[in-house]
Chain A
Amino acid sequence: MAMDVIDYKVYGAEMQFVEVDLDPNEAAVGEAGSMFYMEPDITMETIFGDGSAQQSGFFSKVLGAGKRLLTGESLFTTVYTNKGSVKRKVAFGAPYPGKIVPIDLAKIGGTFICQKDAFLCAAKGVALGIAFQKKLGAGFFGGEGFIMQKLEGDGLAFVHAGGTMHKRDLAAGEVLRVDTGCLVGLQPSVDYDIQMVPGIKTALFGGEGLFFATLTGPGTVILQSLPFSRLASRIFAAAPRGSGGSLLGGAAAGGIFGGDDD
Chain B
Amino acid sequence: MQRLSGQVFGPGFAGAGSKTEFDISDYGLRLITADDFDGAPPWSDITLTRGGWDGSQLSLAWSGRAGRYTIGVTDKAAISAIAALAKTAKGVPAVKRARTDGATRAWIHALVWITFVLPLLALVAVIWQHDRVAAWAVSHIPPGQERKLGELVFAQQKAKLKLVDGKPLDMVREIGAKLTKGSPYKYEFYVADDKVVNAYAMPGGFVVMHSGLLQMAGSAEEMAGVLAHEVMHVEKRHSLKAMAKSLGVAATVGLVLGDLGGLASLGGDLVGLKFSRDHELEADRDGLKALVGAGLAPQGMAAFFRKMAAQEKVDLGFLSTHPGSEERFSAIDAAIKALPDAARNVPLLPVDYAAIKAALPK
Contacts and interface: CB of A to CB of B under 8 A. Distances in A.
A137 B74 contact: no
B51 A216 contact: yes
Contacts of B51: 191, 216
Contacts of B54: 131-135, 138, 188, 192
B37 interface: no
A18 B118 CA distance: 49
B139 to A, nearest CB: 38
Contacts of A109: 6-7, 16-17, 19, 72, 74
A194 B100 contact: yes
Interface string A48-59: 000000000000
Interface string B271-314: 00000000000000000000000000000000000000000000
Contact of B101 (A132, A188, A196, A218): A196
Contacts of B7: 108-109, 187, 189, 219
Contacts of A137: 100, 104-105, 108
Contacts of B84: none
Contact of A108 (B16, B56, B107): B16
Contacts of B219: none
Nearest to A190: B53
A111 B74 contact: yes
A253 B10 CA distance: 57
A140 B108 contact: yes
Interface residues of A, number: 39
B338 interface: no
B15 interface: yes
Contact of A219 (B17, B56, B101): B17
Contacts of B100: 135, 137, 193-195
A113 interface: yes
Interface in B71-90: 72, 74
A220 B16 CA distance: 5
The A interface, classified by DSSP as helix, strand, loop or mixed, is: mixed
Contacts of A211: 104, 107
A188 B104 CA distance: 22
Contact of A107 (B9, B14, B59, B98): B14
B83 to A, nearest CB: 17
B112 A218 contact: no
Interface stretch (A81-89, A168-176, A231-239): A168-176
B74 A108 contact: no
Interface in A117-142: 131-138, 140-141
Given A196-B103, A211-B104, A216 B98 contact: yes
Nearest to B6: A109
Interface in B47-71: 51-57, 59, 61, 68-70
A15 to B, nearest CB: 27
B16 A113 contact: no
A219 to B, nearest CB: 6
Contacts of A141: 108, 111
A135 B19 CA distance: 26
A214 B10 CA distance: 21
Contacts of B52: 188-192
Interface string A34-74: 00000000000000000000000000000000000000000
B16 A107 contact: yes
A210 interface: yes
A58 to B, nearest CB: 26
B68 A188 contact: no
A136 B112 CA distance: 9
A186 interface: yes
Contact of B9 (A132, A135, A172, A192): A172
A231 B262 CA distance: 35
Contacts of A172: 9-10, 59, 61, 68-70
A33 B19 CA distance: 34
A217 B53 contact: no
A134 B68 contact: no
Nearest to A196: B104
Given A172-B70, A194-B100, A196-B107, A218 B17 contact: yes
Interface in A183-239: 186-196, 210-211, 216-220
A220 B104 contact: no
A143 interface: no
B55 A134 contact: yes
Given A136-B108, A194-B108, A210-B107, 14 more contacts: A109-B74, A134-B56, A136-B112, A137-B105, A171-B9, A172-B10, A187-B17, A188-B52, A189-B7, A189-B57, A194-B100, A195-B101, A216-B98, A219-B16
Interface of B: 6-7, 9-10, 14-17, 19, 51-57, 59, 61, 68-70, 72, 74, 98, 100-101, 103-105, 107-108, 111-112
Report the 3 A-B pairs with minimum CB-CB distance, sorted nearest first: A169-B15, A189-B72, A218-B9
